[in-house]
Amino acid sequence: MRLIALLLLFWCIPSVWATQSTPYKLDIGRGGQCVKDPQWMRKNHMQLLKHQRDEAVRKGARDNKISLKTCVECHASLKDNSVIARDDSFCVACHRYEAVKLDCFECHSGVRKSYWLKRNAK
């Protein structure tokens, strides 16, 4: 009986641990939920961004709620205002763990617009 209880305990600990944290360190910035729940976003954010980018660039329909700029505005680190600056930055940490190349930020700015404007104000 004690053995079964012990086994159960060992069996439960990893699952509890897995639901409570990610296997990598992640700075979610201001965070919060504005589009969909986090699990849905983890799986589908790229579809939203791709859809939004074509609508915005080619038709001029700028849906502010799902634009990359708005994502960065909330998810940039509160320390350095960036989603790409460090290994545990919001975009970098996950993409590195999943080994998915992230090339949005070869052209797009990875820092908060509000911070960029403040820094570049004359």
Partner 1 sequence: MSEVNNQRRAFLKTSLGAAAVAIAPGMLLFDMAHGSTEPVSGKVRWGMLIDTNQCKPGCDECVTACNTENGLSGGKLPTDSQWIRKIEIKDISTGRQTSLPMMCQHCEHPPCVDVCPTAASFKRADGIVLVDRHRCIGCRYCMMACPYKARSFVHEPIHDQNPDVPRGKGTVEGCSMCVHRIDEGLQPACATSCPNKAILFGDLNDPTSPIAQKLRVVASTQVRADLKLNTGIRYQGL
Q: Which stretch binds partner 1 (CB under 8 A): 6-14, 15-23, 33-41, 60-68?
A: 60-68
Spatial separation of the C-alpha atoms in residues 70 and 49, rounded to whole Å: 11
* Interface pick for partner 1 out of 74, 80, 88, 109 (rule CB under 8 A): 109
* Binding window for partner 1 (CB under 8 A); candidates: 10-18, 36-44, 93-101, 110-118: 110-118
Residue 97 Cα distances to 26, 37, 39, angstroms: 11, 21, 16
CB distance 68 to 49 below 8 Å: yes
**Residue 49: which residues within 8 A CB-CB, separation 6 or more?**
66, 68, 71, 104
Residue from 58, 100, 101, 121 touching partner 1 (CB under 8 A): that is 58
- Among residues 93 and 110, whose Cβ is nearest to partner 1? 110
What whole-number distance in Å separates Cα of residue 112 and Cα of residue 68? 11
CA 60 to chain centre: 25
Q: Which of 44, 57, 79, 98 binds partner 1 (CB under 8 A)?
A: 57
From candidates 62, 78, 79, 87, binder to partner 1 by CB under 8 A: 62
Give the residues lining the site for partner 1 (CB under 8 A): 53-55, 57-64, 67, 69, 72, 106-109, 111-113, 116, 120
